[in-house]
Structure 1
Amino acid sequence: MNKVVLFDIGGVLINWKDQWLHQEISDQLQVPFKKIESKFNANLCSLFESKINETEFWNLVLGSDNKIDHKIISKTFLKMSSINYDFLNFAKSLKVNGNHIGILSNLTPETSMCIPNSLLDDFDYLFYSNSLKMSKPNAEIYQHVCGKIQSKDILFIDDKQENLDAAKLFDMDTVLFTPSDFSTGIIHKKILNFLK
């Protein structure tokens, strides 16, 4: 089989930092994010997997009498994120010599609607947590991916080390996306070396 490069969306193909959302939440609640971080993180996979909606998520994190804008995640994503066109165009250019590209990303149903459909038309595989009802770094999503593509043929690019560590358990090659490695061309070289 030909090789497949899978990309995360937020923090890789789309410029995004979780800290931006954490700051928006802190500003709206007038409390440090650290005070809600454990409950936030404990319920995030359920939101990514469409097991709960944003209102239910915030009720679990803050209690049912909360005053937060229940659409703060998608609103912040729309306001703060931007498309990394340089890397997106590079990703699309990899579809040569029979190679394929795909997406493996955790998205809430609401944030997935913020991404223009045409943006990812050229991608051969689309593995979205909200559609699959599975999320990174849980093993099930990697098992699903490996059921569609042989793991030895996959290079996975993500901005979170825990997601890459889980992928390595399934014998996927991985690259940690960092802004500095991107700007210096290191990421490009690693991908091109994998495709040789």
Structure 2
Amino acid sequence: MSTDRPIVLFDLFGVIARLQRPGAMDEMASLSGAPTDAFAAAYWACRRPYDAGQFSASQYWTAVQHRLSLPAHPDIIEKLRLADIDSWSRVDDRMVAYAQSLWDVAEVALLSNIPADHADAFLAAQPWLRHLDHVAFSGKIHAAKPDPAAFHHCVSALHATPADFLFVDDREENVRAARAIGMDGHVFTGRDELAAALGTWLPTG
């Protein structure tokens, strides 16, 4: 390894933070004026440029509403934006504590696909994030997983090489992308499984 300490690079949602709150899609669809199935399809179809910092919140929600052939009034857009941020606001306190416990043996960093305005809200609500060795939000670095640029950003920011990293994500496609640039990777299914993987991966002595 090129660094003095190995680096555990965490995904956020589905690992340290909870996935989207149940029922949130129904609530946002109601605000939008669309059936839930159609709203969800438009929500995800337009999401990648928003995650990657290529769309502002206004541009994203305007694109969603236009895809649904519905009006994109500023008040509707703001209600949708705030409801969306709230829907992704929950963390797993046990995983937060576990990630922090790794400081004894490793650098701890984070790489998350999250729009810039969501990132600002999440940082404000979760100040522990500011104590990590590096935090990379896709909307801020203008690259979203599985784009290799997102992983290379972390390598450069931490003055490391890909071999210094274990990347932890709940999505296999993202883990494959990390492995493709030379990182080790672990598909997250639970804390116990991760602890076992780290016990094997971390250097001894």
TM-score band by shorter chain is: 0.7 to 0.9
Q: Which moved more, 1:134-143 or 1:58-67?
A: 58-67
Using the TM superposition, give the Cα deviation of residue 87 of structure 1 relative to its aligned residue in structure 2, in angstroms. Answer: 0.9
Q: What code does the residue aligned with 1:195 have?
A: L
Alignment of 1:13-162 (within 5 A): 13-17=16-20, 20-29=23-32, 31-37=34-40, 39-63=42-66, 65-66=71-72, 68-78=76-86, 81-97=89-105, 99-115=106-122, 116=125, 118-147=127-156, 148-162=159-173
CA-based RMSD: 2.5
Question: TM-score, length-normalised on structure 2?
Answer: 0.79
Using the TM superposition, give the Cα deviation of residue 123 of structure 1 relative to its aligned residue in structure 2, in angstroms. Answer: 0.8
Q: Which runs of 5+ in 1 are unaligned?
A: none
Does the 8 A contact of 2:143 with 2:150 survive in 1?
yes
Kindly name which structure, 1 or 2, has the bigger radius of gyration based on alpha carbons.
Answer: 2
Q: What code does the residue aligned with 1:173 have?
A: D
Q: What code does the residue aligned with 2:80 have?
A: I
Using the TM superposition, give the Cα deviation of residue 86 of structure 1 relative to its aligned residue in structure 2, in angstroms. Answer: 0.8
Q: 1:43 to 1:157 in 2, by over 3 A?
A: same
Aligned-partner Cα distance in 2 for 1:18–1:139: 29
Using the TM superposition, give the Cα deviation of residue 36 of structure 1 relative to its aligned residue in structure 2, in angstroms. Answer: 4.7
Using the TM superposition, give the Cα deviation of residue 177 of structure 1 relative to its aligned residue in structure 2, in angstroms. Answer: 2.2
Using the TM superposition, give the Cα deviation of residue 39 of structure 1 relative to its aligned residue in structure 2, in angstroms. Answer: 4.4
Using the TM superposition, give the Cα deviation of residue 18 of structure 1 relative to its aligned residue in structure 2, in angstroms. Answer: 7.3
Aligned-partner Cα distance in 1 for 2:138–2:88: 21
Identity %: 21
Aligned-partner Cα distance in 2 for 1:120–1:45: 23
Q: What code does the residue aligned with 1:124 have?
A: D
Q: Aligned to 1:187, which of 186, 190, 194? A: 194
Does the 8 A contact of 1:106 with 1:136 survive in 2?
yes
Q: What code does the residue aligned with 2:86 have?
A: L
* Match in the other structure for 1:4: 7
The answer to whether the aligner puts 1:173 opposite 2:184 as a matched pair is yes
Aligned-partner Cα distance in 1 for 2:187–2:26: 24
Q: Which runs of 5+ in 2 are unaligned?
A: none
Does the 8 A contact of 1:54 with 1:71 survive in 2?
no
Using the TM superposition, give the Cα deviation of residue 104 of structure 1 relative to its aligned residue in structure 2, in angstroms. Answer: 0.4
Using the TM superposition, give the Cα deviation of residue 93 of structure 1 relative to its aligned residue in structure 2, in angstroms. Answer: 0.9
SS at structure 2 position matched to 1:168? helix
Using the TM superposition, give the Cα deviation of residue 19 of structure 1 relative to its aligned residue in structure 2, in angstroms. Answer: 6.2
Question: TM-score, length-normalised on structure 1?
Answer: 0.82
